[in-house]
Each structure stands twice: as C-alpha cells, then as structure tokens.
Amino acid sequence: MPAPRKASCEFIADFSQVMKKYFGTDGIRGRVGEPPITPEFVMHLGYSAGKVLTSAEWHLSKGERPAVLIGKDTRISGYMLESALQAGLSAAGVDVLLSGPTPTPAVAYLTRALRLQAGVVISASHNLFEDNGIKFFSAAGTKLPDAVEHEIEAGLNAPIKAMPSAQLGKARRVNDARGRYIEFCKSTFPNHLDLRGLRIVVDSAHGATYQIVGPVLHELGAEVVAIGAQPDGVNINHDCGATHGAALQEAVRARQADIGIALDGDGDRVIMTDKKGILYDGDRLIYIVAKHRQQRGTIKGGVVGTLMTNLAVENGLRKLNIPFVRANVGDRYVLALLQEKGWQLGGEGSGHIICLDKHTTGDGIISALQVLYAIRDTGKTLAELARGVTLYPQKLINVKVPKGFDSRVSLAIRAAQAEAERDLNGGGRVLLRASGTEPLIRVMVEGESRQKVKHWAEKIADVVRNAAVG
C-alpha cells in the first residue's frame, strides 16, 4: 500500500480496451446514428452475441432455446435499437425477453433470477439522450470478460445467416420485471428497520429508475418527493441526476427534506445530500458504508477504490485499520479486484458502488439503502457518519484528443507532470488516464493546496491539448 503522502505521477491505459475495436470499459457507446450505434450494426451485434453467448453448454432441456433479456433506459433511440438487437438475437435462434425501461442493475438481477443465458442493457448511462450504448451481462449477472467481448467482435466479420424458420427465436414481454426488482431492492434493507419519519427527495434523472426507486423507499416507510421522474425520451440526465447535483440540493432545501438521493440515467450511480444541501459523492458514501460495517463487525476484508479515489478516503480508512487498494478506473476492474481478494465493498467517486454481499454489480438504489441503513442503525446524520474524511481538493479536466492519441510519447507532457510532482512535494497526486469510452485524456490533480491543484491541472491540460494538435 503506498504511503499516504507520497506523490505519484502516472499514466494509466488499459491495453485490453485498446485492442478491442468497439467495446470500451462499459460496453459499446456512441452517438446515435453514427457507427457503431446504428440499426444495422446493432442487429449484427445481436446476432454475433447470440452465437457467442449461447455457444457454451447451458444444460438446456431438449428442444429448449437459449433466452436473453433486453432492458433499456428512457432514451427515444432505445425503441429503434431494441428492435434491431431483438432481430439479430432472433436470427441467431435466441428467445428474447423484453422488460422495457429497466435499470442496468435490474437487468443483472433478472438475468440471474430468471435463469437466462445473458442480459443486455441499451443505455449510455450518464450521457445525454443523443448517445446510446449496448452492454451485456453474463448468466451470473456480471459484466462480460474481455475474452468474450473479443469473441463477439470477431463474429461481426461474419455475415448474418439466420437460423431455419422453425429455429428462430421468439420474443415476449416480462410484465412483472419492475415488481420483481422492487422486492429485490427492499430485501437488501434490514427487516427490523424502516424509513418512517424521513422525507427523502429522489432524483431519477428522467431515467430508468423513475418508476422504481420511489416505490422502494415508500414501501420502506419514507415520505418520497420525486423529481426527474417525467421522462420524455430526450430529457434523460439533462441538468439532473447523479451528474448534476444542484437540482437535488435545491429540491432538498425547498421541500425541507431530511435526505436527497440522485441516480443516473441507468441507475447504477448514486450521490446523496443532507438537509443542509451538502453533497456526498461515491467516495464518501463508500467510507460511510465501510465504517458502519466495521462497527457492526460485518465488513469482509477491505475496500477497493480506483486510481481516482480521493486520497483522503484511503487515509481515513487506514485510520480505521480497514485495508484499501486501488483498481484501474471502471467498475468492472473494481469488481475483478474484489473477487480476487474475496472482499465485498468497493466503487468510485462517481457513485458506482458495489456491495457484493447484496448484488453482483453496482446498484445505485441498493447502495443508497446501505447508507440509509447506517443512518437508521446509528441515529447519526450523513455529516456525522462521514466525519473522518475531509476530501482533498481535486481537479479533473477532460481534454479531447484525436482517436488513437498516446500522450505517453510526448516529452512535453512528461515534463509538465514531473514539474507538478516536484511542486506538490509529496502532498498530492497527478494522474493522466485515457478514457475507455471516448477520445479523451483525463487529467486529474489532487493535493492539499486548492490553488496548486487548479494551477497544475489547467497547465497540464493545456500541454496535452497542444501536444494533441501538434
């Protein structure tokens, strides 16, 4: 484990993502109508995925066809892509179950609960409606390994050869998907506690949780004030949800609520706010859950964060004697490290939080319930529970670069990083990371001095910008 005050100067790239043409860190994503998010490509993707995901021995009964669940968020393009994906899967001889607007973690759960061969989500997560994407879950409700994604991509080179008519896949609606998932979420909250007496503002980002998170909290006893719950196909994540906390803060203050919860468009991210309107990101929420579990003696091992996790969280957990390690950025890498170590809790500052004792993947609703459990069990406020972690100033700048740009070969960028490291003098970190989903270099500087953090983040970003066009 690195010393808490040791400066670092890093560039992180995931080479498994570089080798893949379409799959990024969270499935395939892009602008609707532009390759690869076109009906033609998605139909071919469905066909290839159907062939790959059902090629293994699934212990199916004689005459039984493999089946895949398709869920989506509330983007208007979801209708078009759902039809294309369904056509491709059907051509491969796969039966399709359609759940309509369904959170990403709900698809993971339902895939397991219904004993299906795979689950597919049509969503671009926290992006605006102009984008969309496709991500897959295995029969176990986990993200697909890199090797399987490579195999699906390889199949895109082969033409579609539909199965004989008698062997084509069928499609049907799963009418009770929402109710099943609501009950699952409620089951993760202790039976001896409830949320009576709490007024909670919930911002669903006009996304996939708009008909789910409110009922979950209401049925646990809370008074729920819903915002961001009127999707029209184009307003998903627009100035609301987990990436725009101001709407939540304003609503909590206006309605004199006790707590606010904001999710992103597909429901796998969460941030929260207290009655004063103070925001709590994923880093502090993870700290709260870990601290509470340690106090109850239920924590298993330690906590997995990422290279972007605030240094204050690492230091705070160390003071509690809770082990902490960093994974590459992306919930799939957090999950892999949790599984490797046999731990249960991890996540990212963005609000992707994984509680493996509750679910196989990150889940915004279930993560919020874990924080509410700590509040109800201890009688403390969010501020009191988060005491012990004062986040270091952190500045993140996304720099657009040409596709394939490799900042590691730039001497100017290296020199700027080294200069920043010397100036921070052990009191911070510098991190450059290539995005796995967009042509971006993410420049992050963190340290004790807000002025230095801002200065060096902007300076390094300018150097990256100039190097990219030079």
Q: Which residues are catalytic?
A: 125
- Asked if 407 and 466 count as a contact pair (C-beta separation under 8 A), the reply is no
Label residue 175 exposed, middle or buried (CB < 10 Å: 0-12, 13-18, 19+).
exposed
β-strand 67-72 against 118-122: which pairing, if any?
parallel
Dihedral angle sign, alpha carbons of residues 461, 464, 469, 470 = positive
- Asked if 95 and 169 count as a contact pair (C-beta separation under 8 A), the reply is yes
Label residues 329-358 b or e (16+ Cβ within 10 Å = b).
Answer: bbbbbbbbbbeeeebbbbbbbbbbbbbbeb
Report the alpha-carbon distance of residue 193 to residue 463 in Å, rounded: 54
Measured CA to CA in angstroms, residue 306 lies from 32, 41, 110, 291, 348 at distances of 30, 33, 28, 18, 6
Label residues 31-62 b or e (16+ Cβ within 10 Å = b).
Answer: ebeeebbbbebbbbbbbbbbbbbbeeeeeeee
- Asked if 138 and 357 count as a contact pair (C-beta separation under 8 A), the reply is no
Label residues 14-30 b or e (16+ Cβ within 10 Å = b).
Answer: beebeebebbbbbbbbb
The C-alpha torsion from 357 through 362 and 363 to 367, rounded to 10°, is 60
Report the alpha-carbon distance of residue 267 to residue 362 in Å, rounded: 9
Residue with tokens 């700027």: 416
Other residues' Cβ atoms within 10 Å of the Cβ of residue 191? 7
Enclosing H/E stretch for 211 = none
402: amino acid identity, one letter? P
Looking only at Cα atoms, what is the longest distance across the chain? 70
Report the alpha-carbon distance of residue 408 to residue 319 in Å, rounded: 35
Reported in sequence order, the residue ranges of 35-130 that DSSP labels E, i.e. its strands, are 67-72, 95-101, 118-122
141: amino acid identity, one letter? G
